[in-house]
Structure 1
Amino acid sequence: MIFRQLFDSASSTYTYLLGDSGEALLIDPVYEQAPRDLALLQELGLRLVATLDTHVHADHVTGAWRLRQRTGSRIGISATAQASETDLPLHHGDRIAFGRRHLEVRATPGHTSGCLTYVLDDQSMAFTGDSLLIRGCGRTDFQQGSPQQLFASVHEQILSLPPACLLYPAHDYRGITVTSVAEERRYNPRLGGDVDVGDFTGHMNNLHLPHPKLMAVAVPANLRCGKPEGDAPTDTPSWAPLTLRFSGVWEIEPMALLEHLKEVQIVDVREAPEFIDRLGHLEGARLVPLSQLNERMGEFDRAQPIVAVCRSGVRSAQASVLLTKAGFGQVANLAGGMLRWKIEGFPVECDPA
């Protein structure tokens, strides 16, 4: 069996690839990472059979719909979630096959009402989503969460697995990649040892955590299995390594732009004083404030890629949308803007253009 653990740094999300006999599953794919996942599948010679989400995520948008568009894979998520675009509404006890292997579906509600844990056929590993994290667990204060339900789910469906079973969560914020049933039974401060349901409930009801920053966007999107509202591009441009954000804006990382600087048009959409301030500007950049962009699009070469730049990437994202709507076919936004460019130590110019 082929197994890979992949990571999305923006949301600290783990995506898991399992493959056997030419077929593969992806657990908890991330929208922006679909090109990475597709490239890995191709290199390993695997056909994606299905994507499986452990629950309706609140901190990132799933890549399920986007991957289905490219590969024809089926989308699996808990039937309880009542998500549109689902091909496999999953229930406790279901099996998802890939090659000669399969995953068993276990319902583990409590973090949300539709949480699932996926257990490999020989019970050597399980994918716990946010129901059980490494030395922790997911919160229980939204999406029909319940501390009492989560306590029962973890003890009855996860910690009841063999002690040597390896547990892989949907997230870790410290860089730890895996744990085991034996470790969590003994060392999990919320759910292990002598902790009872009263201890756990009292703890979880007094966390007072802020809601995830992307919750208002992610939850509705994930109830559509990651399908954007309206049309969104899905094919990665070939002129540079780009990342597609869920907003539909392509982004280029500073290092990639540095490598392609001589091949693109740089359009800086800040105001004139910002162009020569301490952040400076990129070599060869053309200053076109966002307020003037619509009137000055005739200055750009439609056959050459354009990278829009601003201080933080917000105004330039808007510029990217405007340029794309105006018919420019090769447009990207500089991820993080001049702030990120300067932090990473790349060269700038500070003299007036």
Structure 2
Amino acid sequence: MKNIFQGVHNMKSGISIIIPNLNGEKVLPFCLRSLINQTLSKGNYEIIVIDNNSTDKSTQICETYSKLYKSPRIRCIKFSRNLGYGNAINIGAKYAQYKYILATNNDIIFHPFYLEVLLDTLEYVRSRMKNVVAAVGLHFYYPEVTCINSAGGLLSIVGGHYRYYGRCLGQSDFRNFMKQAVNKKKKKIFSLTGFGTGAALLIDRSIFMKIGGFYKLYFAGVEEFDLGLLLNLLGFRIIFVPTAVLFHRESFTFKRKGLNDTNKIKAYLPGNYIYVSTLIQGVDRIFAYLLLFSFSIFIFAFSLVKKDKNLSRSIIEVYRFITSDYFNKNLVARRAQFRITLHQYFETKKILKSLKMWKSPLAIIVDTFRSFLS
């Protein structure tokens, strides 16, 4: 493991925030304003917007903010095609000037203390635990601000699960939490977590680059689970910081939250197969394939009952893709890339169960079907 991390160079301390954007004119201004108004010193972070060929006014919005605000620096990089989430983050990381990158979305509103608290806590923990390389905060929904979107995550053989997903606090409990913990900038509160959600994952740029960033076959979805599992298998750890808070208008680009959506199925289901095919081993891999195939059959049957031809076609497209030569050649190459490095760490379930980061397949199935029907 040491060999692949040789040559890591030092960069100036701070955060490069990377925001993939696709037709986000309704949400991008709120995201940028919340970042401009952070309490972290303006010289300690930058904002990089990677535009995935938007057809609305979001590109102009980014350029306007870039001209208005010189600190933090805002860079707008536009591409002529949609690169997806993970690939946009990977490209943004190459442009990054700071030690850490924050992989995030355009539909986020950050609490003013988010960057300061998350960075201070991560660096405090890293001074004592060298294998901690990433951190994620407490994410509430927007506009249902008292309901939790994610509080770190647990992993399983088919993907991941957001901790406390959909759990809501009472108004008084929410106000007390914000007043006593967040607004007083209480720091150094953390716990280990299986993965950090892509809504706002802070990670050491050098480690992210050395392991190849988000894997290229992921278009949007599952890449956060994959990265979390890969980091844990390599001996690295991720922390959850409950006093770093943001508000997430989940699935703005997809337009709906649940999995009952053609575009989400085409993005997430292949991602789950990639995750299983490259990072899960032995009997668990066979079991995971069966679970994913069963879920596909359910979606197909559901589409027939609902007479939704687009949904049934999406399943057919998914299976054409995962049986294609392109898909399989890339999986073979990826397995070869990590075989030597990860072979001794591939007791996945044992490792993550010992860290209390592993969720049972049954619980994942229940959560997935609930999300699909929501």
Normalization by structure 1: what TM-score? 0.27
Flag the structure with higher helix content: 2
Normalization by structure 2: what TM-score? 0.26
* RCO higher in structure (CA 8 A, sep ≥6): 2
